[in-house]
Amino acid sequence: MNMLGHKLHCVVSVSGIRGIIGDTLTVEQVMGLAQAFGVAVAHCERVVVGRDSRTTGPLLMQAVCAGLRAVGCDVIDLGIVPTPTVAIAVGEHKAFGGIQISASHNPSEWNALKFFNRDGRNVDQTQLDWILECYKDPPMGYHRRWDGVGSYREDRSALEEHFRRVMAAVDVNAIRSTRPRVLLDCVNGAGSVLAPRLLTALGCEVIAIHDRLDLPFPRDPEPTADNLKHLGALVRAANADVGFVQDPDADRLAIVDETGRYLGEEYTLVLCAAARLSAAGPNSLACTNLSTSRMLEDVAARYGARVERTKVGEANVVDGMQKHGAVVGGEGNGGVIDPRVVMGRDSHIGMALVLELLATAKAPLSEVVRTIPTYAIHKEKVAMDRKAVAAAIPGLKAACWAKGAHSDERDGIKLSWPDRWVHLRASGTEPMSRIISEAPGMEQARELADQVRAATGALPAEH
């Protein structure tokens, strides 16, 4: 049976090809996409493959490995590992690419393929287009004969290099001297295989919950305030200095302070940037996307640093980091990028940087946060596709309430004023759009979102 050429009805972006397994994304399609990646990006050479802890992971791992081997790729199966570990392993194994099988923050019924190129970076749009073209119109002779199929082997040591890089990037002795007490929630995801060990090595007293790979996600796995209402009480009960929460593939990090307050994922990058920029000194640079809080500019100014902004998406931020020589980057979704470890989001270096910041500040996390100017940020999902967003841009720019705003149309439309902004863009990971707004107060931030919704006629997206 030809696994290539089947029409896709799932979500397709440089962040991954994702869908509900057995519904919008089938095993046959997964195998075909792996074959297409093996031909178009990996050139039928060595590929590393990892997965998170989802129940469909073993099934899709077999499909991906079979698809890759069928086109001649030699496969290295990393097992259950965080997404950043796969990116690191590409370079360590001198592979031509990598695939992580994970739908990140999406619910259990979802799964996805995340593609990495030879540089250990997410594929860019051009490379994704190659994969899709090869999938839809496979080249002649893409299948190998029986004596030309790729090899297969397992390697369970990929975590060691990831561990080493994080430990080398921070002041371990300073962190150990404070003996922090940490509550860690791995959501029974891939972070369970590395995060508890890493924090212990950093001298933390670790209270780990939801760190079982054999159990399902205990809740909606996206680390948002609504999904983490229980965690504050647990942090207080444990008398912890900080609470860390990972998503299923451990590339995103949410934080709870010692009082039990959920800080919001916007603070993850801001706190990590404070640690890096203070060490890097004046004229250093941070990079983030258009939808991330202006708190980052405030923190950068404190250390004589500056901020560059890009379109939303990890690949775009990484491009910006490389172009401008940034020492830290990330997005307001809890994703932190430290090029000393990996050119991709990594919750593990995020945790280490926050602990380093606390050790340097010699103050509780809540006090460190109070030194950062605060804004109210509002995020919502609306039922608009990419075409509808593009069609709405002229009307939004012409609206009377938008008078005097600076308009940035690199990614949907962002309207900015001196003390507030609102951004409407199509999601790259879900079939809907997002409105993100920030202002001095929550009422003002919500008013901006309301005005965008009213001007576009958008309805709330179904959950």
Contact 358, 178 (CB under 8 A): yes
Vertex 118: Cα angle to 112 and 120 (nearest 5): 60
Catalytic residue among 104, 192, 293, 437: 104
Nearest to 73 by CA among 101, 103, 106, 96: 96
Report CA-CA distances (Å) from 406 to 66, 389, 410, 413.
51, 18, 13, 10
Coil vs helix vs strand at 67: helix
- Report the C-alpha gap between 172 and 178 in whole angstroms: 10
Query: Cα–chain-centroid distance for residue 225?
Result: 17
Q: Tell me the two tokens of residue 384.
A: 């608009």
For 44: left if phi > 0, alpha if psi spans -120 to 50, otherwise beta; the answer is left
Contact between residue 253 and residue 336 where contact means Cβ atoms under 8 Å apart: yes
Calculate helix-pair angle for 158-169, 83-92, nearest 10 degrees: 100
Would you call 104 a catalytic residue per the annotation? yes
Reduced to 3 states, what is the DSSP secondary structure of residue 315? helix
Please list the active-site residues. Answer: 104
